[in-house]
Amino acid sequence: MKNILVLCTGNSCRSQIAEGYLRHFAGEKAEIYSAGIETHGVNPKAISIMKEDGIDISKHTSNNIDEYLDIDFDFVITVCDNAKEHCPFFPTKAKKFHHNFPDPAKSKGIEEEVLEEFRQVRQMIKDYSKQFVSDNLF
C-alpha cells in the first residue's frame, strides 16, 4: 500500500477535496493524508460541494504538516504554489508532484458565484486525482 500526502497552505479546501477524491479513486491501493503548512479548518463550502458529488469529507480534520513527518510517504502532492515553496524536506523516497489549483476560498461575489468557483476547482481536482491514481497506482 502506498502513502500519499496532499499538501496545501491551510488544509481547508484544495487539499481536502484532493484527499476525498484520491481516497475515492485509489480505494485500498493507498493511504491518503492531507495537511497544511498552517491549519485553517475544513471549509464548509468544500464539504458542501463534495457532498454534491457523493463524497463525504465532513469528518476530515485540518492537519499540520508536522503531524506527519514520521510517515514514509511514497508521493507528496502540493496543490498550491505556496505549499510547494514551503514544503518541508521529507527524509523518504517520496516522489513530489505539483499542480497549482486556484483557491476557491478567495472567490468573490454572490453565494452562487462563489459556489460555482468551488465546483470548477472541484472538477479540476477530481480530474487530476483520477489521472494521478491511474498513472501511479495501477
What string of DSSP letters covers 27-42?
Answer: GGGEEEEEEESS----
Predicted pLDDT of residue 90: 57
Domains of the chain with CATH codes: 2-136 (3.40.50.2300)
pLDDT by 10s per residue, the chain, length 138 = 999 999 998 899 999 999 999 999 999 999 999 999 889 899 999 999 999 999 999 999 999 988 988 898 999 999 987 766 766 555 567 898 999 999 999 999 999 999 999 999 999 999 999 999 999 997
Helix axes 44-52, 111-136, angle to 10 degrees: 70
Predicted pLDDT of residue 94: 85
Q: Which residues are catalytic?
A: 8, 80, 87
Q: Would you mind telling me the total number of residues written for the chain in this entry?
A: 138
Query: What does the alpha-carbon distance between residue 138 and residue 65 come to, in Å, rounded to a whole number?
Result: 27
Predicted pLDDT of residue 37: 86
pTM listed for this prediction: 0.93
